[in-house]
Structure 1
Amino acid sequence: MFDHILLNIVLLLIITVGLVSISRRLHLPAILNYILVGVIVGPFGFGLIQSEKSISFLAEFGIVFLLFSIGLEFSLTQMMSMRRMVFGFGGLQVLMTGLVVFGVSYLLGFGVETSVVIASAFALSSTAIVIKQLTEQSEIQTRHGRATVGILIFQDIMAIPLLILIPALGTAAGQSLPTELGMAFLKGAIVVVVMLFAGRYILRPLFHEVASSKSQELFTLTVLTVVLSAAAFTEEMEISMTLGAFLAGMMLGETEYRHQIEADIRPFQDILLGLFFITVGMMISPELIQTHFLTIMAITLSIMLVKTVVIFGIMRLFQKPDGVSLRTAVSLSQVGEFGLVLITLALTYELLPHQLGQILLTSAVFSMVATPFLIKYNGRIANRFCRKSYQNDFAEMESVIKEDTKFLSDHVVLLGFGRVGQITAKFLEQAHVPFVALDMDIKRVHEAQQSGEPVYFGDSAKHSIIHATNISKAKVAIITFHDYHAAIKTLKTLQDVAPELPVLVRSLDDSHINELTQAGATEVIPDTFESSIMLASHLLLMIGHPPSQVLKQTRAARRGRYNLLNGLYPGESDHVPFDHAQMGQIIQPITINESAFAVGKRLEAFPMETLDLYIKSVRRGSVRGDNPDLKTRIRVNDILIVQGLPENIDKFEHYLNTGKT
């Protein structure tokens, strides 16, 4: 209908904006929206765009940026720390799933090359959907979450040989397959060595030089040049250009510029990757779905069942509990983005018949559609099919917590034991306030328990776990994890279990204060608000504002935000600071005027030890002397840079002017 590429892109953007806006409210993955757009505008939908070739060029760049961003997030350090899960669980999962799918495909009459393509595509899962959903459900640090991440890391590693394998199979027609594969992997090894060399001796110095120019435009341009150059290099070597992008991402992911690069590349990646998934959608035919619906559903359910059984079996082989094993298996049962990339790559090299490719793509998409719902209810699924093991596991955790907390009263229930939780716990210990903490990071809990801390593994959103903390006798509960969704779930549980209990909630910013308050939070403490107050306070003190005035402004800011702090300052004079020790030592300049008592006096005559102060330097005109000699005499217009508590600096300034302490 529309032949002009610009009109095609404008049309796609209009429809995509509408669908994404709707799906954001329904919490559906963006990938599915792009695929749906492709179905609507494609030749099998309304025919608004008759061929995906008009946007396929840009869509190929979408794959390049997808692989580059995955390479950026690929961490060798993380991989080594989880090597048992990565190479044990992940290696066996890809191998066993691939062998089973290959065997079934070959028995169904498909050739070796076709069976290899199907096995390779179906052995991989969706990193984007799984990680996003687990993160939203606060399950990344759980036992099944860590196992899932470990397997996904290995699948990302497998991208390298698979991206070499598919083009090699496609170009091996009429030639010796072993010879062609051997040459392809030899070229792949050369590419990897060259990219490693370039990353160490070229990319790092290059980005150091570019960053020193402090030009955002130059930095972004350099990133784009590196990505596309790496892709062009591997394509010239007759290997998939996505391999070059992935390796470039890996190299840059190990540098200090990783986060800036990721931020710069994100807009290009999201838009172009969206176009890739749109082209995938354009290959899906509603008529094909109607005609082969049973076949498509059979393939979808079969592959999800096979992957679930294989992963469950591997987890049990490693002696993981039934519930954890099933939750991991359900989370990884789908086909992922890499699967779509490999199938489309195989279609390009004519390794799959067109209709079979469409059926496989459709089945893969169906499995991705089901994934958010399967992960959302993975706990219920495990409870349904592994009830005895699952409930025994939780019952054991609950009994341990109950036994250890049965004599506690007026204690604090600390939900989350990350950095904020641990700092809070130290304050409670110093104040001799008893507490019990829950956390979902099994490694952190184990280390804390070895140190004698009252920290337990448990989901704070579960009623039975919260009950086990002797919540009815607690004085207050505090939620310290930053995940908004997890905080809401926990607040709802606390409202059911102990509706009268005061609950303090930490949040990253103030964007969800109303929602958290409505969910039951007595008070919400945003990180950004507190850090802003402290930063501004120290700034004002360092540029010479009186501590009492700074404290007055700080109180006013907090009074407007925190209701609980209102009652701490009744009838207190604005000129009498509240517990200055809370603010810690500050550095403040004091100017000596001509009428000051200190003029002509030596530094050794000042009551520094009495006030616990330290004169860091004396500035005289444009000259600044650090660590001044105590014999130094003070002159008019000298500036003393003093370090100490705010109230002591106030007293010292008064002494310098009047001679009275």
Structure 2
Amino acid sequence: MHEFALLTPTVLLLSVGFMVILICRLTRVSPIIGFLLAGLVLGPHGMGLIHDTETTHLLAELGVVFLLFDIGLHFSTKSAWSMRRDLFGLAPMQMLITGVILASTMKFIFGMSGDFALLTGFALALSSTAVVMQIIGDLRQNESPVGKSAKAMLIFQDTLAIFLLIFADTVGSNETELAHLVLTTLLKTIIAIILVVALGKYVLTPLLRLVTRYNDPEMFTVLGLVIVMVTAAMTDYAGLSLTLGAFLAGMVLAETPFRILLQNELRPFRSLLMAFFFISTGMMLEPAIIIANGDVVLSLLLLILSVKAAVIGALIFISRRPAHHAIQLAFFLAQGSEFAFVIFSMAAVSAGMGSAISQQLISAVALSMLVTPIFSGIAYRWSLNICQSLKGITNVSIYDNSPVNKQPVFIVGMNEVGKTLARAFREHNISYIAIEHDRNRFLEATAAGYVVAYGNPGDLRFWNTLGADNARAVCVASPRYEITKEISPVIQKLYPRLKRYVAVNDSDEAQRFMALGTIPFHNKGAPPGLEMACFLLSEFGVSHSAIEDFQEEEHGAYLEIHPDPVLDERYEEQGEELPVNN
């Protein structure tokens, strides 16, 4: 019985997690809300079925560890360079402005000393990587421009959070002790980075090569788990953070050919442990404190959401990006962070600012996570309404303010093939204009950040308006044979040098389109359109290594959403909606 008692928290968490996912699927509610509410209702401040123990704390923390490892797998030095505008520009400005505003407000409202106010302000300026990545995944915006901007900001915040945790350990110390600890921590961090990089290059990569020879999935899964746990334990032992080691290990292994395999093998563990994290977060909500201090908690909640949304939205708008980008990112990133729980729960921090204030801040951050999926849904629908107003605009320079090449590639159709092509051109600074006649697809693609014009591609006047004279090529992602057959002679006459590429489903369709003077590509692949995209990048002078990097990145992102291509094909054949991973 004693052994089973030790397993009880895990068994309960697993059972609750399954029921929440099932209910949320049936009701089409975000699982994040379900997990948070389950933790609130079943936790120590609700029915008391799940208790706040070391086991639940560890499971929740491991969820964040695996999430940071997965983010590290997406964060190679090459991807960092492609994100440089947001990673080294937008993200630092957001943290600085938001942190200063919230710190000043904390000092004014609660009369905190300068160091505690500064710590609180910057802790509240962080956003929840777990919540935001879940929302982006649900909307299938992982690799879209909006999704990549959010990911860049989260990576910067998570890196800064490590130093905030160090600052929290020393808050209230004198300046000499603080300076000494900061220097010591910086030195430890540099040593940790060097050790993890060396470990990845000289130990883990050869070991992964050895394991792949045996083609044994179980060995690879076990090795993946060992890598995450050992690297996290190394940095924790050094007095840094579990998440730092996991993130560094993921970043090192992102440069190897084993990244996709590791993502696929460890995905179930990450998803399961993230569910535990959200349930554990819900357990931290104390209805008694919220009710007794309702005015303070709600004021803090509104303060966090409004300040962060206003600052993020303003910075994105100032950077001359479309309004629907600003709205989505502002609401997606407005909540508090999981790191805030850790900081406000520290004994020194809680004692310094007062346990009552600490609990009120924790409650406000937890509530901000709870309402984020709701507000994000509202923001997404709002951005779709803004995109609706763009339907009549054919001057695409309004959308794309920084094309490197003024000769655009035209993409006809923004299905999965069209989005793959758009990402390929965007990543390699090739200007493009997408054309979509389907209203829903136009709104969805525009809201995700793609450059799309709404109109009928069969109308030659529309092509003239968009400037087809200067186009480098036309890529038809969703071809309609009868329309193509009708307008092909006219296009060949008006634009004799314009190459036309088309995505087809089978060999018979390829033969028919070849007869019209187009170059066909089969749209099978992961993701669809990848073969055409890589060919065109080569045609436009992109280096072979850059194309290989893009191909690997796209393939990995596709498998993250569609881990079972055979299952995906079965759903498509039956005309059912593909399930989204959570």
TM-score for the superposition, normalised by structure 2? 0.66
* Secondary structure at the counterpart of residue 10 of structure 1: helix
Q: In structure 1, what is the Cα distance between the partners aligned to 2:309 and 2:197? A: 36
How far residue 39 of structure 1 moved from its aligned partner, in angstroms, is 1.6
Q: Residues 223-273 of structure 1: CA distance to partner in whole angstroms, max 9, x if unpaired? A: 222222112211221112221111111111221111111122222222233
Contact 2:128 2:338 in 1 (8 A): no
Q: Residues 447-474 of structure 1: CA distance to partner in whole angstroms, max 9, x if unpaired? A: 4659xx9789997345999973277999
How far residue 36 of structure 1 moved from its aligned partner, in angstroms, is 2.2
**Residue 439 (structure 2) pairs with residue 469 (structure 1):** no
**Residue 145 (structure 2) pairs with residue 146 (structure 1):** yes
Alignment of 1:541-580 (within 5 A): none
Alignment of 1:113-128 (within 5 A): 113-128=115-130
Alignment of 1:575-654 (within 5 A): none
Q: Residues 42-68 of structure 1: CA distance to partner in whole angstroms, max 9, x if unpaired? A: 221112244333432333333322222
Q: Aligned match of 1:111 in 99, 110, 113?
A: 113
Q: In structure 2, what is the Cα distance between the partners aligned to 1:179 and 1:399? A: 54
Alignment of 1:137-176 (within 5 A): 137=139, 146-147=145-146, 149-171=148-170, 174=173, 176=177
How far residue 22 of structure 1 moved from its aligned partner, in angstroms, is 0.7
Q: In structure 1, what is the Cα distance between the partners aligned to 2:330 and 2:359? A: 26
Q: In structure 1, what is the Cα distance between the partners aligned to 2:323 and 2:91? A: 18
The equivalent residue for 2:313 is 312
The equivalent residue for 2:210 is 209
Q: In structure 1, what is the Cα distance between the partners aligned to 2:67 and 2:431? A: 38
How far residue 196 of structure 1 moved from its aligned partner, in angstroms, is 1.8
Look up the equivalent residue of 2:106 and give its one-letter code.
Answer: S
* Secondary structure at the counterpart of residue 393 of structure 2: helix
Q: In structure 2, what is the Cα distance between the partners aligned to 1:139 and 1:216? A: 29
The equivalent residue for 1:361 is 362
How far residue 165 of structure 1 moved from its aligned partner, in angstroms, is 3.2
The equivalent residue for 1:21 is 22
Q: Aligned match of 2:394 in 382, 394, 397?
A: 397
Contact 1:133 1:376 in 2 (8 A): no
Look up the equivalent residue of 1:121 and give its one-letter code.
Answer: A
Contact 1:98 1:123 in 2 (8 A): yes
Gaps of 5+ in 1: 402-411, 424-438, 482-504, 508-524, 532-560, 563-661
Alignment of 1:368-447 (within 5 A): 368-378=369-379, 381=382, 394-397=391-394, 414-416=412-414, 419=417, 443=426, 447=430
Contact 2:9 2:51 in 1 (8 A): no
Q: In structure 1, what is the Cα distance between the partners aligned to 2:411 and 2:51? A: 61
Look up the equivalent residue of 1:330 and give its one-letter code.
Answer: F
Q: In structure 2, what is the Cα distance between the partners aligned to 1:422 and 1:195? A: 33
The equivalent residue for 2:223 is 222
1:254–1:446 CA distance, 2 compared to 1 (3 A): closer
Q: In structure 2, what is the Cα distance between the partners aligned to 1:363 and 1:96? A: 20
Look up the equivalent residue of 1:460 and give its one-letter code.
Answer: R
How far residue 135 of structure 1 moved from its aligned partner, in angstroms, is 5.2
Look up the equivalent residue of 1:282 and give its one-letter code.
Answer: M
Asked which structure has the greater CA Rg, the reply is 1
1:372–1:398 CA distance, 2 compared to 1 (3 A): farther
Q: Residues 282-336 of structure 1: CA distance to partner in whole angstroms, max 9, x if unpaired? A: 221122222222222221222111112212221233233445433432332223x
How far residue 168 of structure 1 moved from its aligned partner, in angstroms, is 4.5
How far residue 21 of structure 1 moved from its aligned partner, in angstroms, is 1.0
The equivalent residue for 2:246 is 245
Higher helix share: 2
1:340–1:454 CA distance, 2 compared to 1 (3 A): closer
How far residue 41 of structure 1 moved from its aligned partner, in angstroms, is 2.4
The equivalent residue for 2:559 is none
**What RMSD in Å do the two structures reach over aligned CA positions?**
4.3
Q: In structure 2, what is the Cα distance between the partners aligned to 1:307 and 1:171? A: 26
* Secondary structure at the counterpart of residue 239 of structure 2: coil
1:282–1:417 CA distance, 2 compared to 1 (3 A): closer
The equivalent residue for 2:341 is 343
Contact 2:316 2:326 in 1 (8 A): yes
Gaps of 5+ in 2: 399-409, 447-451, 463-475, 480-502, 506-521, 529-572, 575-582
1:165–1:458 CA distance, 2 compared to 1 (3 A): same
Q: In structure 2, what is the Cα distance between the partners aligned to 1:218 and 1:40? A: 39
1:441–1:472 CA distance, 2 compared to 1 (3 A): same
Aligned length: 453
Q: In structure 2, what is the Cα distance between the partners aligned to 1:110 and 1:220? A: 48
Look up the equivalent residue of 1:115 and give its one-letter code.
Answer: A
The equivalent residue for 1:277 is 278
Q: Residues 119-156 of structure 1: CA distance to partner in whole angstroms, max 9, x if unpaired? A: 33322334444445445546667xxx625532431331
Q: In structure 2, what is the Cα distance between the partners aligned to 1:368 and 1:442? A: 35
Look up the equivalent residue of 2:117 and give its one-letter code.
Answer: S
What is the percent sequence identity of the aligned residues? Answer: 25
* Secondary structure at the counterpart of residue 111 of structure 2: coil
**Residue 46 (structure 2) pairs with residue 45 (structure 1):** yes
Q: In structure 2, what is the Cα distance between the partners aligned to 1:239 and 1:349? A: 17
Contact 1:340 1:361 in 2 (8 A): no
Contact 2:32 2:373 in 1 (8 A): no
1:224–1:422 CA distance, 2 compared to 1 (3 A): closer
Q: In structure 2, what is the Cα distance between the partners aligned to 1:383 and 1:91? A: 28
Contact 1:414 1:421 in 2 (8 A): no
How far residue 348 of structure 1 moved from its aligned partner, in angstroms, is 3.6
How far residue 220 of structure 1 moved from its aligned partner, in angstroms, is 2.0
Higher relative contact order (CA 8 A, sep 6+): 2
1:132–1:174 CA distance, 2 compared to 1 (3 A): closer
Look up the equivalent residue of 1:120 and give its one-letter code.
Answer: F
1:173–1:124 CA distance, 2 compared to 1 (3 A): closer
Q: In structure 2, what is the Cα distance between the partners aligned to 1:421 and 1:467? A: 15
Contact 2:436 2:456 in 1 (8 A): no
How far residue 167 of structure 1 moved from its aligned partner, in angstroms, is 3.6
**Residue 200 (structure 2) pairs with residue 199 (structure 1):** yes
Contact 1:74 1:153 in 2 (8 A): no
Q: Residues 73-100 of structure 1: CA distance to partner in whole angstroms, max 9, x if unpaired? A: 2233222123123222222112211221
